[in-house]
Amino acid sequence: MIVAEHLTKVFRLGRKGPPWRREWEEKQAVNDLSFEVPPGRITGLLGVNGAGKTTTIKMLATLLLPTRGRVLLDGIDVAREPARVRPLINLIAGGERAIYGRLTGRENLWYFGQLYDIESSLLRRRTEELLEVVGLQDAADTPVEKYSKGMKQRLQIARGLLNDPRYLFMDEPTLGLDAPIARQLRRMTRDLAQEHGRGVLLTSHYMFEVEELCDHVYVLDRGELVAEGPPQAIKALTGGERVTRVTASGWDEASSGKLRSLLTDLGLQADVSLADGLVTIGVRGKEDVTPILVEAVSGPGRRVLRVESEEPSLEDAIVAIAEGNGVPHGNRASKGGTTSA
Ligand SMILES: Nc1ncnc2c1ncn2[C@@H]1O[C@H](COP(=O)(O)OP(=O)(O)OP(=O)(O)O)[C@@H](O)[C@H]1O
């Protein structure tokens, strides 16, 4: 289990002020953040741009020292014993970092495998397996500078899995990938957690990806933890409302007027419209009122033609949180980060 305790990162940007009273200009990127990444689960780290996700991942991955707080990885203090931690972790980031353009795909994997001190015959086998998993066998001997963006990203994924990490950090891993490869990566990530018991920490701007993969998410806002829980609970926290729409045939002015009154009597604030004998009811609210609406428009000579129910999206929730009108104050995660959504 990875346990982050009161993690804080302050960047010093430079000195400001008159020469006789110069002060450091600082940027607090992460503030008093506590959370857990257990094995066998995909944990999400969410927040709008600049919320502190990448800074947090870098501290977990031994790439940045925290200003305050600590990270324990299976009991090992990451800042104090980075050399013990590195073989147990890996990072897959979006973009084109951490691969060498002049080397071929196979040579890149060989080089990084050496850095991980993986025994030669095991490394050879794993390199071939991973080249196949990410669909780069045919391009294995081509210099990476000739790869497309998607191919480079696939090589990053292979590099990230080379040491069979116990914990994997994925920072926007599907950025720039085409749909089939992104889907394959999601499947692989799920297998890593569920079948192989690996702990995964994922950041992504694709909310459907987060909803599909993550069991538990932490939401950051300006470096602070503001909510945590399953994606479903985060959506509920921000008071997101679903829109239910039902369309049926066999209606006229008089009957749709009665329908309006019936819905009011049922306590529903419904938007009822009529066009060419088709009535459409729209209701916005937290509850799923589909069965009530379907029953209300059904009857002899009438047919339900369409039923739509739009869930509030996780994206709406994150934006609402960033704008400060999502999470009621009492529900904001306490500093210590143990408040559940
Ligand atoms: N090396 C640095 N020096 C100074 N400020 C930094 C540095 N790295 C990050 N920051 C600042 O810290 C804040 C958090 O940045 P970070 O990259 O962690 O956010 P993020 O949530 O990953 O954003 P994004 O979704 O855009 O990747 C931002 O305001 C950023 O400008």
105-163 pLDDT tens trace: 999 999 999 988 889 999 999 999 999 988 899 999 999 999 988 888 889 889 999 99
Nearest atom (ligand 1) to Cα of 205: 25
Nearest CA to ligand 1 atom 12: 29
The dihedral built from the CA positions of residue 220, 224, 226 and 230, taken in this order, carries a sign that is positive
CATH of the domain at 295: 3.30.70.120
Task: Examine residue 216 and state whether it is found in any structural domain, yes or no.
Answer: yes
Contact 45, 57 (CB under 8 A): yes
Instruction: Say yes or no: 221 and 74 in one domain.
Output: yes
- What is the three-class DSSP state of 120? helix
Task: Examine residue 320 and state whether it is found in any structural domain, yes or no.
Answer: no
284-335 tens-digit pLDDT:
877 788 999 999 999 899 999 999 887 777 887 787 777 765 554 444 444 3
197-235 tens-digit pLDDT:
999 999 988 888 898 899 999 999 999 999 899 988 888
Instruction: Say yes or no: 168 and 276 in one domain.
Output: no
**CA 266, CA 25: separation in Å to the nearest integer?**
59
**CA 108, CA 185: separation in Å to the nearest integer?**
20
The b-or-e profile of 79-98 (16+ CB within 10 A means b, else e) is eeeeeebbebbbbbbbeeee
What pLDDT was estimated at residue 238? 63
CATH of the domain at 30: 3.40.50.300
**Percentage of residues in the chain with pLDDT exceeding 70?**
93
Task: Examine residue 221 and state whether it is found in any structural domain, yes or no.
Answer: yes
Distance 52 CA to ligand 1 centre (A): 6
Instruction: Say yes or no: 260 and 164 in one domain.
Output: no
Instruction: Say yes or no: 118 and 183 in one domain.
Output: yes
Task: Examine residue 319 and state whether it is found in any structural domain, yes or no.
Answer: no
Contact 77, 230 (CB under 8 A): no
Structure tokens at 194: 């569920």
Q: Which of 54, 205, 206 gets mutated to test ligand 1 (max ligand atoms within 8 A of its CB)?
A: 54
Predicted structure pTM score: 0.76
Instruction: Say yes or no: 171 and 294 in one domain.
Output: no
Contact 217, 233 (CB under 8 A): no
Nearest atom (ligand 1) to Cα of 48: 25
Report ipTM (2 d.p.): 0.96
Distance 149 CA to ligand 1 centre (A): 23
Task: Examine residue 339 and state whether it is found in any structural domain, yes or no.
Answer: no
Is the predicted pLDDT of residue 103 greater than 70, yes or no?
yes
Instruction: Say yes or no: 100 and 229 in one domain.
Output: yes
Ligand 1, residues at Cβ distance < 6 Å: 11, 13, 27, 29, 47, 49-55
What pLDDT was estimated at residue 232? 84
* Confidence band for 65, pLDDT divided at 50, 70 and 90: very high
Which has more pLDDT, 300 or 16?
300
Residue with tokens 């993986």: 118
Q: What share of the chain is helix, strand, coil (3-state, %, to 5)?
A: 35, 30, 35
Instruction: Say yes or no: 266 and 293 in one domain.
Output: yes
Instruction: Say yes or no: 193 and 271 in one domain.
Output: no
Could you give the number of structural domains in the chain?
Answer: 2
Instruction: Say yes or no: 117 and 224 in one domain.
Output: yes
Domain containing residue 273: 242-310
